Structure 1
Amino acid sequence: MLAQTPPMGFNTWNTFGPNINEQMMLEITDVMVERGYRDAGYKYVVIDDCWSMRERNENGELVADPEKFPHGMKFIADYVHSKGLKFGMYSCAGIRTCAGFPSSFDHEYQDARTFASWGVDFLKYDFCYFPSFANCQHRYLQMAMALRASGRDILFSACNWGVQEPWNWMRSIGAHMYRSTGDIVDTFASTADIAKSQIGKFNANAAGCFNDMDMLTIGMNGQGNVGRADCNNYVEYEMQFAYWCFCGAPLMIGADLRSMDDQYRELLQNPRLIALNQDAECRPPYLVRQDNGWTAMVRHLAGNEFAIGVFNFCGDARMAEITFAELGVPAASGVRLSLCDIITGEELGEKKDDLFVYVAGHSCKLFRAKFVREKGRRRG
């Protein structure tokens, strides 16, 4: 099965936009290996929009821009594969891509065969210039079918921005991940808007098809295509990554890996957060409470454990109180909880009463919880 757990990788759009080329992609691929991203779980190297010529060739085929990619796309795919990684590309369900290049509308099967012949493993499929006369769900179904008929396993990353509530149908039509929001930019307001908009939409998130909350902006520091002057700081980046991991979202890095600061590299490679994201049960989170600017959720994990996440979307600190009863563990249960801080790895000991969690502004706390039966208790 493709996408047994949330896909992880790198995408060019957030930082580079249209300014992409062959040498850059080879360098990014090398860095994925040399600086530990591949071994941490990041597998896909994805070229976004602006890779092709402005028109198709005489056979109606997509053609890579020879100035940007002089050796063609199969050359890059082969290089990516030689490093133990997978190669991804971009197209669009509309009549043009978002940047005005040829899309796959009415060329789905032809383009799927082209991508397969190049060795593509991942297709991001956008929604710009989608004609009013066309059926959105059918067009995404058609590309899903085309990819399956191509003779190659290609992960289908559907990106229709949440139009027609894709969490209700993208899994059924064959997508492996689906965007449910507009584009992210490198600000905390953008992170918070996307994060809060997903509450109540997680139920469709499971093995084989995942809710894509867009590419990460961690480490961009206001630079690049979606960079902004009021960019996230480290604490806000940490909250973004923690939220994406807690919710089981795909993890697609958007910053320039070649110049990534060590603190951001270490955050993106945090083994406990990645383990949470990649948990084998792939269960979505459940909302426990929203109160005074903070949100508390729980998520069942493999091995009869669960995670607790408290996220503070306010600019100042909050004290969150969560009762064991709210977690589904009433006083009569006869169990305590052994807690570990997921971000830091600190063991916090056993708890049996309400949790009081201090959370700084624009920050979060994540805990992994194990059940500990109280001695002498048999009922409850």
Structure 2
Amino acid sequence: MFALVLLFLNAVTLTLGLDNGLALTPPMGWLDWERFRCNIDCVNDPENCIGELLFKQTADRMASDGWLDAGYEYLIVDDCWEAESRDSDGRLYADPTRFPGGMKALADYVHSQGLKFGVHQDFGHETCSHYPGSEFYLQTDAQTFADWGVDFVKMDGCNSDLGDMDYGYPAFGMFLNKTGRPMIYSCEWPFYQSVKHFKIPDYAAVRRTCNTWRTNKDIQDSWDSLLQTIQFQDQDQGNFSQYAGPGGWNDPDMLILGNFGLSPDMERTQMAMWGILAAPLLMSTDLQNIRNSSKALLQNRRLIAINQDKMGVQGKKIMTVGPVDVWTRPLLPTGSVGIVFFHSDVLTHGFHYPRITTVQAQALGLTASQGYNLVDPFDGSSKGTVKPSDSIKVRVNPTGVIMYVATPAS
């Protein structure tokens, strides 16, 4: 594949994924993988299997239960939707038993609810679950997705050659653009290079090619996985944080809150940190049965506004005070700052208890002499006004966060 792709790229002018004008803020939507995996038993579990019913019911919920109004507009079908082979023309098609109407009809249904439609594919010869991959079919698959009315393509990297990625992922982005249909291009390219093969990716090239890109391994429904994901963003190997901005975003993976593994404090932590990180907000939970508290967090407009800030600067950790990490992110209006105090103490270490942390305001970047109004975005409450020389004192629960938005006082 490497030689064919290289020959092709030498022969054409490459149109990059970023040129599609999409993802000016981090994409928001729903993705089935973490919650529903590759459950294909539609005989015994029809409402939870990877089939037409699950996605239609989820589309209904997204349209009627406030998700679309809050900004969650993409419904994305992950792995295991395909038939076990391509058709006689070499085109992908959905498993005819689980998706009797086919993918074009499902996309039409999703669009009829005011949503946008996404699909998963794989850069290798097979997907991670051993369905047909896109190797040698990049152009065909791009056109197939356009013909179906796809709006978002997640391109995985299982069963592929690492040496092909630096050429093949840009080639697929070019083929997507050549269809003339705007499609967000979500790449797992850097994840396979950095985590699977210990190679620092060329993030500048990734940024030129993709609208979002996975930086680390799949998130699981547990505190350990969430903490490891946040720590990976903190390590920032290859300085990938500098490449985030309108049109292209680092993706630490799905929102798992609303499932089984996180406490209320942990759920608040993920929502706050995905806001500070300017991460795609792609839920993976059962919208038919989600807890009211989790739904309220996911639909909190103040938290969403931090994530969707149009300046598009990814936040970073600026200090650690005992077990409490302090993260900040510049926001609009100019001079505003999002602040998270995150109690990252691992539960297995023992002696975990709420910690009182005190930080001078100017150490958080709050340097304007007129001071700043502090608001807690979780409940909208005012925390008063602070001057640069004032101290901010917080009490943070283990695995929890305190979050503020500081806006220059008038």
Q: Same fold (TM over 0.5)?
A: yes
Corresponding position of 2:107: 77
Give the SS at the match of 2:87: coil
Corresponding position of 2:221: 186
Identity %: 33
1:38 Cα deviation from its structure 2 partner: 0.4
Q: Deviations over 1:82-141 (max 9, x none)?
A: 111100001011111000010111110000000000000000010111125x32221111
- Structure-2 separation of matches of 1:355 and 1:213: 29
Corresponding position of 2:398: 361
Amino acid in the other structure paired with 1:4 = L
Listed as ranges, the matches of 1:225-244 within 5 Å are 231-244=261-274
Give the SS at the match of 2:93: coil
Corresponding position of 2:247: 208
Q: In 2 relative to 1, CA 170–78 (structure 1 residues): closer, same or farther, beyond 3 Å?
A: farther
Corresponding position of 1:17: 37
- Superposition TM-score, scaled by structure 1 size: 0.92
- Structure-2 separation of matches of 1:290 and 1:188: 20
Corresponding position of 1:262: 292
| Structure 2 residue runs without a partner (length 5+) | 1-20, 40-49, 194-198
1:245 aligns with 2:275: yes
Out of 300, 304, 307, the residue aligned to residue 338 of structure 2 is 307
- Structure-1 separation of matches of 2:110 and 2:101: 14
- Structure-2 separation of matches of 1:165 and 1:151: 32
1:327 Cα deviation from its structure 2 partner: 2.2
- Structure-1 separation of matches of 2:233 and 2:167: 24
Contact 1:166–1:180 at 8 Å: present in 2 too? no
1:4 aligns with 2:24: yes
1:35 Cα deviation from its structure 2 partner: 0.7
- Structure-2 separation of matches of 1:170 and 1:127: 17
Contact 2:219–2:226 at 8 Å: present in 1 too? yes
Corresponding position of 1:198: 233
Corresponding position of 2:63: 33
Q: How many residues align?
A: 361
Corresponding position of 1:135: 164
Amino acid in the other structure paired with 1:217 = I
- Structure-2 separation of matches of 1:14 and 1:172: 25
Out of 103, 119, 128, the residue aligned to residue 133 of structure 2 is 103
Corresponding position of 1:342: 377
Give the SS at the match of 1:239: helix
Amino acid in the other structure paired with 1:180 = T
Give the SS at the match of 2:250: strand
Which stretch has the larger CA shift, 26-35 or 153-162? 153-162
Listed as ranges, the matches of 1:121-200 within 5 Å are 121-132=151-162, 134-160=163-189, 161=191, 163=193, 164-166=199-201, 168-199=203-234, 200=236
Which stretch has the larger CA shift, 249-258 or 302-311? 302-311
Corresponding position of 2:365: 328
Amino acid in the other structure paired with 1:308 = I
Which stretch has the larger CA shift, 206-215 or 290-299? 290-299
1:167 Cα deviation from its structure 2 partner: 6.9
1:288 aligns with 2:295: no
- Structure-1 separation of matches of 2:278 and 2:200: 19
Give the SS at the match of 1:369: strand
Contact 1:170–1:178 at 8 Å: present in 2 too? no
Q: Give the structure with the larger helix fraction.
A: 2
1:306 Cα deviation from its structure 2 partner: 1.5
- Structure-2 separation of matches of 1:260 and 1:93: 33
Amino acid in the other structure paired with 2:175 = A
1:308 Cα deviation from its structure 2 partner: 1.1
Contact 1:45–1:85 at 8 Å: present in 2 too? yes
Cα RMSD over matched residues? Answer: 1.5
Contact 1:57–1:63 at 8 Å: present in 2 too? yes
Give the SS at the match of 2:409: strand
1:23 Cα deviation from its structure 2 partner: 1.2
| Structure 1 residue runs without a partner (length 5+) | 222-230, 374-380
- Structure-2 separation of matches of 1:257 and 1:166: 35
Q: In 2 relative to 1, CA 172–328 (structure 1 residues): closer, same or farther, beyond 3 Å?
A: closer
1:180 Cα deviation from its structure 2 partner: 0.2
Give the SS at the match of 2:136: coil
